[in-house]
Amino acid sequence: MVKALTAADIECPIYISVQWDERNSRLHPEWRVRSASDTRFDPDQLTAGWHTLCLNHKEYRDQLLEHAREVARNYETVGLFFDIVLTADCVCAECLASMEAHGLDPEKAEDRLKNDEWVNEVFRTEMTAALKAEFPDMRIFYNCGHIHKQGPKRFAPYTHLELESLPTGGWGYDHFPSSARYAATLGLDFVAHTGKFHTSWGEFGGFKHQDALDYECAQMVALGSKCLVGDQLHPNGAINRDTYRSIAAAYDRVEKLEPFLEGAQQISEIAILSAEHFNRPGRATTSATTAQRRCCRN
């Protein structure tokens, strides 16, 4: 695949799944997330689902680093896309120990979230430093399905941003505009992710309506983003020609706009106050934050 894409002058960053690794979850059940809440990140043994791995286990982080090095050494790639870097509300033995070391209370949801975010930051920082030492020009992105509005420091280990936002796949049409407006303030290049699917990733039976795909691509470039329309090969490995006819029609419009887009920057003089900065996803709801949301809605 890498050789074929390179021959067609198509860049080929490589995808690595981080916390969803079913093989490791069976070989190393001690690395699995033990969630304090009833979440899909920690299904029981008789429930179908992804058994999430906790990044607070150094042995697993070391294995992920060697995996990434192996990929980068053996394939000519411009970058690595690390997917599934989650806050899973983990209370495994390692997380309980780190919460105790940091003076956090595992009985409090907000303290568990702080620990999750600290664990993820350790992973991202270690991984980027090690890869950049060997591959200084490598592009690196860590995906959790959302660009958190928590300030530029969070994105120090990133070389660019990728805004996953499938409007008809659960994100809704309000999600991408606010993410793009925020991303533009961080000084990083960014690309938007939508999908060719009517719903979400891997829904092979449906196609997004052409009008929706045209609109989404036009909105991407209007907000200063590069375009990405996600597809997944069918298990038989064959490209679906109808998919690419649909994407081609949307990109034809973008191509006509390219002379105006190269080097363009957002200059909108507008400020957006985001409740997310004060009430991060996953934080426990208190009477104060509930009142704040009611006030914002009104």
Mean pLDDT computed over 17-32: 96
Task: Give the separation between CA 28 and CA 22, rounded to whole angstroms.
Answer: 10
pLDDT at 219: 96
The answer to whether residue 288 sits within a structural domain is no
What's the pLDDT tens digit per position in 26-71?
999 999 999 998 778 898 888 888 899 999 999 999 999 999 999 9
E strand intervals along 55-128 = 79-83
What are the φ/ψ torsions at residue 190 (nearest 5 degrees)? -145, 150
Q: Which domain holds residue 185?
A: 2-273
If one counts the domains in the chain, the total is: 1
Amino acid 87 reads T
Closest listed residue to residue 96, CA positions, set 55, 56, 51, 39: 56
Token pair recorded at residue 52 = 């999430």
| Residue 297 pLDDT > 80 | no
pLDDT exceeding 90 applies to what percent of the chain? 75
| Residue 290 pLDDT > 90 | no
What are the φ/ψ torsions at residue 217 (nearest 5 degrees)? -65, -40
Residues in the chain: 298
Tell me, what CATH number does 151's domain have?
3.20.20.80
Average pLDDT, the chain: 90
Amino acid 121 reads E
Q: Do residues 29 and 103 lie in contact, with contact meaning Cβ atoms separated by under 8 Å?
A: no
The answer to whether residue 281 sits within a structural domain is no
Amino acid 160 reads H
Amino acid 185 reads T
pLDDT at 281: 60
H runs (alpha helix) in 1-53: 2-7, 22-27
Task: Give the separation between CA 11 and CA 77, rounded to whole angstroms.
Answer: 7
Give rounded-to-5 percent helix, strand, coil for the chain: 45, 10, 45
Which sign does the torsion angle of CA 248, 252, 257, 263 carry? positive
What's the pLDDT tens digit per position in 248-287?
999 999 999 999 998 888 887 777 778 887 776 654 433 3
H runs (alpha helix) in 49-207: 58-74, 93-101, 109-134, 175-183
The answer to whether residue 98 sits within a structural domain is yes
Strand order from edge to edge, sheet including 190-195: 161-164, 190-195, 226-230
The answer to whether residue 283 sits within a structural domain is no
Task: Give the separation between CA 61 and CA 78, rounded to whole angstroms.
Answer: 22
Choice between 264 and 290, residue whose per-residue pLDDT is larger:
264
Element at 288 (helix H, strand E):
helix 287-297
What's the pLDDT tens digit per position in 95-111?
999 999 999 999 999 99
Token pair recorded at residue 26 = 């069976």
Choice between 163 and 40, residue whose per-residue pLDDT is larger:
163
What's the pLDDT tens digit per position in 183-223?
998 999 999 999 999 999 988 888 999 999 999 999 999 99
83 DSSP 8-state letter: E
The answer to whether residue 295 sits within a structural domain is no
The answer to whether residue 292 sits within a structural domain is no
Alpha-carbon separation of residue 234 from 2, 4, 205, 229, 241 (angstroms): 18, 18, 10, 16, 12
pLDDT at 280: 66
The answer to whether residue 284 sits within a structural domain is no
The answer to whether residue 290 sits within a structural domain is no
| Residue 295 pLDDT > 70 | no
Element at 131 (helix H, strand E):
helix 109-134
Token pair recorded at residue 35 = 């969630």
